[in-house]
Amino acid sequence: MVDFFIGLFLASLITALFTTRLYRLLVWYSFNSLTLGVLALLIGIKIDDNAMLITGIATIVIKAIAIPYFLKSFSQKFHFIRQIQPNIKIQYAIILIPAILVFTFYLAKPITHMIANNSNYVAISISSLFLSLLLMMEHKNVAPKITGFLSMENSLFLLGITATNGMPMLVELGIFFDLLMAIVVINLLFRREEMKNA
């Protein structure tokens, strides 16, 4: 079952790479976070770790619901451009994405021998890290770049829960706090811009 969700995680990220609409992108991001949260819950139940359950629930609440909602409300408040055409042409993306995947899978091969359980997931989280970087690179607008940053956070989180069976509780909560702080700063950055235009 964990395999299934990890597949969904990567699948939603790849689909996000091809998206040309902002709201659709947010939906995919939210779905991505949702699968992440479910994964955390599943692994948490499997290894009987309460901290992981809490982070799973926090992921679902914060990343899958709150942050996409905030971003959507920002986009309405500050009139983002909602058509987000990737800079990289689709023909090249079709070649580039599998190339990245193959590269990262082989890159992660030596690591997978060193981690006892869930070794494959390390490869997938590294590749999703690269794909999120690609998501940041292929867009000129700010909003998809933010989404790319957030999904990068997601893939790091995936690495955290799969490679290490969860980081210490305090650290994970701190990361969530920082994420919310990032959202606040993003909001402020947009707000000033609007005041100047007005």
Partner 1 sequence: MIFYITTIILLLLLAPILLSFIKSLKMLLLFKRPAPLLQGYKNFAKLMQKETIVSQETSSITTYAPFLVLSPLLVTMFFLPPIVHGAFYVSFVDAFTITGLISLSTFFLMLLGLDSASAFGGIGSSREAFISALVEPAMVLTVFSVSMMAGDLGIGQAGVNLAEHFPKEHMASFLFAGISFFILLVAENGRIPVDNPETHLELTMVHEAMILDLSGVYLAIIETAASVKFVIFASLFVSLFIPVGLEYSAPIAILIFIAKLFGVAIAVAILEVNTAKLRLFKVPNLLGISIVFAFLSLITFYVLGA
Partner 2 sequence: MLELLLFPAFIIFGLSFIKSDKAKRLLAFVSFLILIPTVKLISLPKPFHLFKDYLVVDDLNAYILFVSSIVGIGVTLALMTLDKHVKVSKNAYRRFYRFFAIFWIGLIFSILSNNMGIYWIGLELATLSTVYMIKTNHSTAAYKEAWNYMIVGAIAISLILFGIILIYASAKPILGEDAMNFNLLLAHAKEIKSSFLFELGFATVSVGMFVKMGFFPMNLWLANIERASFYPVAALFSGILESAIIIGFFRFSKIAMEINYDHLFTFVFIYTILTIFIVSFLIYRAKDFMRLFSLSGIEHMALIALFWVSGGTFAALLHFGAHAFLKPALFLSTGVLESNGKYKIAGALKGYKGKKGTIFWFLVSLFLLAIISLPPSPMFFSEIYGFGAMIKVAKSGDNLLSMMAAILILLILLSVIFYKFVEVYQSMKYEGKVYEKKVYVTELFSLIIFGISLIILITSPVMNYLRGIS
Residues that bind partner 2 (CB under 8 A): 110-111, 114-116, 122, 129, 133, 136, 142, 145, 149, 152-153, 156, 159-160, 163-165, 167-168, 170-171, 174-175, 177-178, 181-182, 185-186, 188-189, 192-193, 196
**Closer to partner 2 by Cβ: residue 56 or 160:** 160
Q: Minimal CA–CA distance to 25: which of 78, 88, 68?
A: 68
**Closer to partner 2 by Cβ: residue 15 or 119:** 119
In the chain the first and final C-alpha atoms are separated, in Å, by: 52
Min separation Cβ 34 and partner 1, Å = 15
DSSP for 137-182, please give it. Answer: HT--SHHHHHHHHHHHHHHHHHHHHHHSS---HHHHHHHHHHHHHH
Residue 177: name its binding partner from partner 1, partner 2, none (Cβ under 5 to 8 Å by kind). partner 2
How many angstroms separate the CA atoms of 132 and 145, rounded? 9
171 binds partner 1 (CB under 8 A): no
How many angstroms separate the CA atoms of 145 and 102, rounded? 24
From residue 68, alpha-carbon distances to 32, 75, 80, 93, 180 in Å are: 11, 10, 14, 25, 12
102 binds partner 1 (CB under 8 A): yes
Min separation Cβ 59 and partner 2, Å = 16
106 binds partner 1 (CB under 8 A): yes
Among 39, 64, 101, 152, binds partner 1 (CB under 8 A): 101
